[in-house]
Amino acid sequence: MGRGGSELDLPGFRFHPTEEELLDFYLKRMVLGKKLQFDIITSINLYRHEPWELPGLAKMGEREWYFYVPRDRRQASGGRPSRTTERGFWKATGCDRPVRSAADPKRLIGLKKTLVYYEGRAPRGSKTDWVMNEYRLPDPPPNSSDAPPKEDIVLCKVYRKATSMKELEQRAAAMEDDMNSGSSMADSSPGWPDQESIQLGPPPGVDDVIVIEDTEEEKMAAAVAAVAAELMEEQEEVVVAAAGASTRRPNLPELEVPKSSGMEWLQDPFLTQLRSPWLMDFWSPSFASILNI
């Protein structure tokens, strides 16, 4: 009794009791008022808290958390208990299942009920992965000589169910179907016309046309393209001019050729030398007279 729960934080220590140990040892001793030396399980009103808050309220546990929970008056008298929290409710998945002793299967040591937490309000709600196993001792026979229990308490084990790969695939498929259905509804909506029905020009009867100005990048690209086109035109003109100049004959003045008079042979240089007066002395008078003709 003198040691607190903090002294139980020992390396390697784990609290994983069996169902028989929970019922026949822990719950039974708590109901009969026999306190344990170590306060391992916390006593709380579980339905005043949300399931994700319970791990922080437990004294021990890593994946499973245990609590003593007082039974509701309606539950103790055979009525339906209230398992509603502020943001949801715990829903039973079936009837109570018997828990028997491993050594003596004929001996009933308790009853077990499985519940699942739903967010929202009944009968509607969103199912979560939080699960609770509620253990209680069996009711004594009506004419039993056994002393009635001092306290009406149940023992609850809370844990979060691991999501299977099949369930994850089903959730992913459901989300994909929802997205596809949403996109198909958007495509078939009358507010969004088809591509074939889109008119590029202004509607008839409308004079004002909205002109969308080009961005700076588009203006720059257009200017560069215009300059390049002008350069190409100038280059083509130079090439054409060069080609025309190479094929055109030069415009030269015509040479004036003197008309022949029949005496062009007298202008021959050789004959002129022969007619030189220095040479005339060496020729005979007859030959000289022929040349002077």
pLDDT single digits (tens) 37-53: 778 899 999 999 999 99
**pLDDT given for residue 276 in this prediction:** 58
DSSP string across 187-229:
HT-TTS--STT--SSPPTT------PPPPHHHHHHHHHHHHHH
Nearest of 75, 77, 48 to residue 134 by alpha carbon: 75
**pLDDT given for residue 218 in this prediction:** 75
| Structure confidence at residue 215 as a pLDDT band (50, 70, 90) | low
Say yes or no to pLDDT of 205 above 50.
Answer: yes
Percent of the chain with pLDDT over 90: 31
**pLDDT given for residue 33 in this prediction:** 86
Residue ranges in the chain assigned as alpha helix (H): 19-21, 28-31, 54-57, 73-76, 165-187, 216-247, 269-274, 277-280, 285-291
Contact 85, 130 (CB under 8 A): no
| Structure confidence at residue 186 as a pLDDT band (50, 70, 90) | low
Contact 86, 20 (CB under 8 A): no
**pLDDT given for residue 67 in this prediction:** 96
**pLDDT given for residue 231 in this prediction:** 74
- In sequence order, what are the beta bridge partners of 64? 159
Calculate mean pLDDT across residues 168-185. Answer: 76
Tell me the average pLDDT of the chain: 74
| Structure confidence at residue 209 as a pLDDT band (50, 70, 90) | very low
Nearest of 5, 41, 1 to residue 21 by alpha carbon: 41
**pLDDT given for residue 45 in this prediction:** 93
- Cα→Cα distances 250→239, 254, 257, 279, Å: 19, 12, 20, 48
Query: 5-140+147-167: which CATH architecture?
Result: Beta Complex (2.170)
pTM as predicted: 0.53
Say yes or no to pLDDT of 26 above 60.
Answer: yes
Give the integer Cα–Cα distance in Å for 97 and 110. 9
| Structure confidence at residue 197 as a pLDDT band (50, 70, 90) | very low
* Matching residue, tokens 């020009």: 201
66 SS3 class: strand
Q: Is the alpha carbon torsion for 201, 205, 207, 213 positive or negative?
A: negative
Give the integer Cα–Cα distance in Å for 116 and 83. 11
**pLDDT given for residue 6 in this prediction:** 46
Calculate mean pLDDT across residues 167-173. Answer: 76
The amino acid sitting at 203 is P
Q: CB neighbours of 135 closer than 8 A, spacing ≥ 6? A: 19, 22, 23, 27, 99, 110, 111, 112, 154, 155, 156, 157
Among 23-32, 120-129, 162-171, 172-181, the range scoring the smallest mean pLDDT is 162-171
Reading the block at residue 26, the tokens are 């822990």
Calculate mean pLDDT across residues 121-147. Answer: 83
Say yes or no to pLDDT of 109 above 60.
Answer: yes
Q: Max Cα separation, the chain?
A: 197
Say yes or no to pLDDT of 135 above 90.
Answer: yes
pLDDT (tens digit, 9 = 90+) per residue, 253-272?
665 655 555 555 555 555 55
pLDDT (tens digit, 9 = 90+) per residue, 60-99?
888 999 999 998 765 555 566 789 999 999 999 989 999 9
Give the integer Cα–Cα distance in Å for 64 and 39. 17
